[in-house]
Structure 1
Amino acid sequence: MRLGYFAMPMHPMHRPWAETLDEDREAIILCDKLGFHDAFIGEHLTDKLENINNSLLFLATLIHATKQIRLATGTSNLSQMHPTLIASHAAMFDQLAKGRFIFGISPGSLRCDAEVLGTLDEDRGKLFAEAIDVILEIWKQNPPYRIDLPGNRFKVSTEKTEALEIGLGYLGKPYQRPRPEVVGTVVAPYSKGVVLMGQRDFHPLSANFLQGKWARTHWANYAEGKQSVGEVAEVADWRLARTVFVADDEATAQRYGIEDANSPYRFYYRQIMTKFARINRLGVFKQDRDQPDSEITLEYVLRSLVICGTVNSVVDQILALREITGDFGEIVYAGMDWVEPALAKRSMELMATEVMPRVNAAIAQGQSSRPREVAAN
């Protein structure tokens, strides 16, 4: 099992923007030193707490500050920009990173982002689907392109103005051929979008605020998509994000991970719950679809979704999670605000150097799991 990193990121509003950007960079540089496989960074335009408004721009500052970690958009919000621009910017990033790039994609669900861009009344799911089709065509084709897909609003051509003999009319291609790995973040239980991911060889990343029993439905749908095109799903292609805090002693783990009023995990889930309540999506936190919203308290969410404890305890909790979800290829460590930087860094160090070797030793000894049967939706 690989170890990855994901951050939205999310910081208290009172903290200076430049300071939090520096902290987010420091976290990924530390991930690189500790041997994390990849680092996904999210983006929002209009969220003061989620401070990165262009993940590619932010990650570009890390290309030469890191050596081996793969730098991933987590995600590029495809409904917010013309796909020609996204395809070109991502291709140049991949060239700069010499292939250390993962293209994480999503529609972009924040309504205030859509309002500020004038797309509040648009079907952002449709925009997303049209955009990714065009991006992949741009990477596949050569000029003059002539991209005019049925039912797709985005038309791409340089036919009228090209002068190929002097270099005019070209769009850049990625360093990785035929394209970078494409990853989609998945939140909804039984998401049918994961079937489409399997069909197109995109890879799912199940969100850290989704209960394990619902995350396992993503694997079933991904495998269904693969099977429909005559392929076999690879466990290595499924990432599962979790909220983890590892400490040298149990008291510190419980204090910083759950109990303290200033716990960054408490702050994080309070914000996530508030945002999801606004759009009537508290269901992602539920163990049962009939569970009333009144039971979805902050304490309930923290106790059911935060993996925290000493090294041995966290190892046991990750292995127990695998008994619910079945095998997955990568556990993605969710980054938090560094309320106490020494503890935050120590947790990442323990996760990489102590927890993961023990988890993988247990897997090697035969404690592997297979997804259990999942009831139909």
Structure 2
Amino acid sequence: MRFGAFIAPHTPTDEHTSLALEEDMDRVVWMEKLGFDEAWIGEHHSGGWEINGSPELFIAAVSQRTSRIKLGTGVASLPYHNPFTLADRIRQLDHITKGRTMLGVGPGSLPSDAYMIDVPTAEARDRMEQAIEPIVRLLNNEIVTAKTDWFNLQEARLQLDPYNDDGVEIAVASQASPTGARAAGKFGLSMLAIGATSAGGFNALASNWAIAEETAADHGNQMDRNGWRLVGPVHVAETREKARENVRHGLLRWIEYMEKVAAIPLAPPAGQDPVDYMIETGFGVIGTPDDFVAQMNRLSEQSGGFGCFLNLDNHWADWTETKRSYELIARFAIPKINKLNESRIRSETWLRENNAHFKGELTAAVRSKMEEYAREKGMDKLSPDLVAHFKANS
């Protein structure tokens, strides 16, 4: 299983904008240092918190500070862009990142964004589906002529070849509705389950995958679970108590923003502690690395298997504790999930099980050398001082 982050971002409006953007880049650099595989950057144009208007700009900048981690648009809102110019920017970004670019696509999550450019919210998902096919074909180096009521392509073609033969992986946002799953199946794309740990998203995991597979079969494609990303919020610490204390830094503000601004209902029932609510509903991991492992097992069982988990990055904890959370996941959770230390564990277990035998051999070897030395010196028996000397230096 691969691991990464889905960075909307969620930056409270009392923070300095430039410093917040810089911190998000530091976040990706830190993730690469710890061995994380992917970082996905959002596109939003209103709300005040989600301040990346262009994930391509962010990716281009942070790619110059990193060398290995893959970087994706999480996601590009297709109804807001002409398919040709978006595909052209992604192709250029593919070269700037030296083949590390991934294209995540979706209908756009904030109705206010759509309102400001006069995109009817009710048409956003239809427009996403209309835009996917020409983008896929353009990135496959095809010449595309296509016309809808909102874009017109006339013998459109990209002037740059892909950076490498693999091209750019494309992933479709999928939540509770089947729209993303159908689009992924129809065009043979990957899927991003952005709300995988919410009640609706969690319950729809298996059914959405089945829809994608069925649609893929109808169109001669095959879905690959390795390209399925599941997204959910996580904060871990050395103890559950410390994790709970850490997230009280910003959890209430985040819930209030999601509820009152982003219009995503996440508030706990009246009278229930928000930390308890996040844990008990399974929406978020707030605990230890072992709790993170348990969440991965829960998601794997529900989904039938997936390729990558993305932490829905937020400002629940301050930056220092957030860095520590990523470190604890990398140091203690990922090795357990991916069984990275099996050989080390077998070696330790073997020595534990044979400890008496090897200790006896060592004691006998030391005793033999002591007796050999005593014979060379003409001693009848070993003196206590000699025994102590050899024990101390053996």
In the aligned structure 1, how far is the partner of 2:259 from the partner of 2:122? 25
Displacement, 1:150? 6.1
Partner residue in 2 for 1:156 = 153
State how 1:182-331 maps to structure 2 within 5 Å. Answer: 182-189=170-177, 191-208=178-195, 209-211=197-199, 212-257=202-247, 260=248, 262=249, 264-275=250-261, 278=263, 282=265, 298=274, 300-301=277-278, 303-304=280-281, 305-331=283-309
In the aligned structure 1, how far is the partner of 2:43 from the partner of 2:161? 23
Percent identity of paired positions between Structure 1 and Structure 2: 25
Does residue 28 of the first structure (1) align with residue 6 of the second (2)? no
CA deviation string 1:135-188 (max 9, x = no partner): 23333346xx4x3336565332369xxxxxxxxx96334324464110112122
Of 160, 164, 170, 1:172 maps to 160
Check conservation: 1:107, 1:124, Cα contact below 8 A. Answer: yes
Check conservation: 2:192, 2:229, Cα contact below 8 A. Answer: yes
TM-score, structure 2 normalization? 0.77
Kindly tell me: are residues 50 and 138 of structure 1, through their superposed partners in 2, closer, same or farther at Cα, counting changes over 3 Å?
A: same
In the aligned structure 2, how far is the partner of 1:83 from the partner of 1:125? 15
Check conservation: 2:226, 2:306, Cα contact below 8 A. Answer: yes
Partner residue in 1 for 2:334 = 356
In the aligned structure 2, how far is the partner of 1:16 from the partner of 1:335? 18
Q: Which runs of 4+ in 1 moved over 6 A?
A: 292-297
SS at match of 1:61: helix
AA of the residue aligned to 1:197: A
TM-score, structure 1 normalization? 0.80
Check conservation: 2:139, 2:168, Cα contact below 8 A. Answer: no
* Structure number with larger C-alpha Rg: 2
CA deviation string 1:197-227 (max 9, x = no partner): 1231111111245232233332222222233
Q: Which runs of no fewer than 5 residues in structure 1 stay unpaired?
A: 160-168, 287-291, 365-377
Displacement, 1:232? 4.4
In the aligned structure 1, how far is the partner of 2:303 from the partner of 2:243? 24
Partner residue in 2 for 1:115 = 115
SS at match of 1:10: coil
Does residue 45 of the first structure (1) align with residue 8 of the second (2)? no
Indicate the larger mover: 117-126 or 68-77.
Answer: 117-126
Kindly tell me: are residues 301 and 312 of structure 1, through their superposed partners in 2, closer, same or farther at Cα, counting changes over 3 Å?
A: closer
Check conservation: 1:94, 1:175, Cα contact below 8 A. Answer: yes
Kindly tell me: are residues 71 and 170 of structure 1, through their superposed partners in 2, closer, same or farther at Cα, counting changes over 3 Å?
A: closer
Kindly tell me: are residues 251 and 42 of structure 1, through their superposed partners in 2, closer, same or farther at Cα, counting changes over 3 Å?
A: same
Q: Which runs of no fewer than 5 residues in structure 2 stay unpaired?
A: 343-394
Pairwise CA RMSD of aligned residues? 3.1
In the aligned structure 1, how far is the partner of 2:335 from the partner of 2:214? 31
AA of the residue aligned to 1:148: T
In the aligned structure 2, how far is the partner of 1:8 from the partner of 1:103? 15
Partner residue in 2 for 1:163 = none
Displacement, 1:231? 4.8
In the aligned structure 2, how far is the partner of 1:293 from the partner of 1:150? 48
Check conservation: 1:148, 1:154, Cα contact below 8 A. Answer: no
State how 1:21-170 maps to structure 2 within 5 Å. Answer: 21-120=21-120, 123-141=123-141, 145=143, 147-149=144-146, 151=148, 153-157=150-154
Partner residue in 2 for 1:289 = none
Structure with larger RCO (C-alpha < 8 A, sep 6+)? 1
Partner residue in 1 for 2:325 = 347
AA of the residue aligned to 1:47: G
Kindly tell me: are residues 230 and 293 of structure 1, through their superposed partners in 2, closer, same or farther at Cα, counting changes over 3 Å?
A: farther
In the aligned structure 1, how far is the partner of 2:76 from the partner of 2:271? 34
Check conservation: 2:147, 2:153, Cα contact below 8 A. Answer: no
CA deviation string 1:48-71 (max 9, x = no partner): 111111000111101120010001
Displacement, 1:338? 6.9
Higher helix share: 2
Q: How many pairs were matched up?
A: 338
